[in-house]
Amino acid sequence: MIAHLRNYISTILFVLSLSAFAQDFSLSGKVVDANGSPIEFANVILSVENEDEFYKGTSTDDKGYFIIDNLDATTYFVRISFIGHEEFAQKVILTGNLDLKTIQLNDLPESLDEVTVVAKRPTITRKPDRLIFNVENTALTEGSTLGVLKSTPGIIVSEGGINIKSAPAAVYINNRKVQLTSDELIQLLESAPANSIKSVEVITNPPASYDADSGSVINIIMSKNLVTGYRGSIQTNFTQGVFPRYNAGTSHYFKNDKINLNLNYSYTNQKINRDQDNRVNFLDDSNQIEEIWKSNVNRNTWSETHNLNLNFDYYIDERNTLSLTSTGLYTPYFKYQLRNNTDIFDANENFVSSFTADNLSRDNKYNIGTNLIFRHGFKNDASLTFNVHHTVYDYERDQNVFQDEPGVDDDSEFNTLANQDTQIITGKMDYNLPINESSTFDLGAKYSSVNTDSDITRTDIINGNEVVNMENSDAFKYDEKVLAVYSNYNKSWDSWELNLGLRAEQTNIEGESLSLSETNTQDYLNWFPNVSLLHTISDDVNIYSSYKRSITRPSYTNLNPFTFFLNENTVVLGNPNLVPTYRDHYKIGTSFLEHFTVEAYYMNYDGDIVELPRQNNQTNIVAYTPVNLDKKVEYGFDFLFDYYPTNTWNLYFVTSFYNISEESDFGEGFVKQDQWSNYSILYNNVSFLEDRSLNVSLAFTWAGKNLQQFQTLKNRLVSELSISKSILNKKGIISLAVDDIFNMQDFDSSTNYLNQSSSSFVDVDTRFVKLGFRYNFGNTKLETNERTTSAEERERLKDLN
521/23: higher pLDDT: 521
Strands 670-688, 570-573: pairing kind: unpaired
**In sequence order, which residues have a C-beta less than 8 Å from that of residue 380 and are 6 or more positions away?**
433, 434
- pTM equals 0.76
Per residue in 263-291, pLDDT (tens digit) is 889 899 999 999 999 999 999 999 999 99
One DSSP character per residue, 361-397 reads EEEEEEEEEEEEEEEEE-TTS-EEEEEEEEEEEEEEE
Q: Most confidently modeled of 147-161, 251-265, 781-795? A: 251-265
CB 443 within 8 A of CB 384: no
Q: Most confidently modeled of 8-17, 146-155, 318-327? A: 318-327
- Give the pLDDT score at 792: 54
The full set of domains in the chain, from first to last, is 2-104 (2.60.40.10), 112-225 (2.170.130.10), 229-487+494-516+530-796 (2.40.170.20)
- Nearest Cα to 383, choosing from 340, 330, 430? 430
Per residue in 612-625, pLDDT (tens digit) is 899 999 999 999 99
- Nearest Cα to 770, choosing from 739, 742, 744? 739
337/60: higher pLDDT: 337
Residue 56 — very low, low, confident or very high, per pLDDT cuts 50/70/90? confident
CA 571 to CA 563: how far, in whole Å?
Answer: 7
- Nearest Cα to 192, choosing from 122, 252, 120? 252
One DSSP character per residue, 467-517 reads EE-GGG-EEEEEEEEEEEEEEEEEEEETTEEEEEEEEEEEEEEEEEETTTT
DSSP assigned state of 704: -
Residue 11 — very low, low, confident or very high, per pLDDT cuts 50/70/90? very low
Q: Averaged over 569-579, what is the pLDDT? A: 89
- Give the pLDDT score at 180: 64
CA 47 to CA 45: how far, in whole Å?
Answer: 7
Which amino acid, residue 642? D
Q: Averaged over 146-171, what is the pLDDT? A: 72
The least confident of 189-193, 595-599, 637-641 is 189-193
- Res 499 pLDDT > 80: yes
Give the percent of the chain with pLDDT over 70.
85
DSSP-H helix ranges across 99-200 = 112-118, 145-151, 182-191
E runs forming strands in 187-319: 197-203, 217-225, 229-240, 244-255, 259-283, 289-315
H/E segment holding residue 82: none
- Give the pLDDT score at 785: 43
- Nearest Cα to 259, choosing from 328, 311, 181? 311
Task: Round the average pLDDT of the chain to a whole number and report it.
Answer: 83
Query: Measuring CA to CA, how many Å separate 551 from each of 22, 529, 609?
Result: 63, 11, 11
**In sequence order, which residues have a C-beta less than 8 Å from that of residue 638 and are 6 or more positions away?**
165, 589, 597, 598, 599, 600, 601, 654, 655, 656
**In sequence order, which residues have a C-beta less than 8 Å from that of residue 410 and are 6 or more positions away?**
none
Phi then psi dihedrals of residue 328, to 5 deg: -120, 135
Q: Is 669 left (phi over 0), alpha (psi -120 to 50) or beta?
A: left
SS (H, E, C) 59-81: ECCCCCEEEEEEECCCEEEEEEE
